[in-house]
Amino acid sequence: MALDGQIPSGPIAEKWDKHQFELKLVNPANKRKHTLIVVGTGLAGASAAATLAELGYNVLSFC
């Protein structure tokens, strides 16, 4: 079994920008199909989970 990291080609300084440009967007109608996991329920984790839930995503939060 071969592992593929799917790392974009090119110089290291440009890899993140290239990856962001090639990402597929989430259609607002399909938000309910995606489940997001938030690890940590401190101030930032709880805020992130609440905000994502308000946007329409299914959110699972773990301590």
Per-residue pLDDT tens over the stretch 11-63: 989 998 988 888 888 888 888 888 999 999 899 999 999 999 999 999 999 98
Q: Tokens 């773990």, residue?
A: 62
Instruction: Specify the pLDDT at position 46.
Output: 93
pTM beyond 0.85, yes or no:
no
Instruction: Specify the pLDDT at position 7.
Output: 83
CA atoms within 13 A on the CB side of 63: 0
Three-state secondary-structure class, residue 49: helix
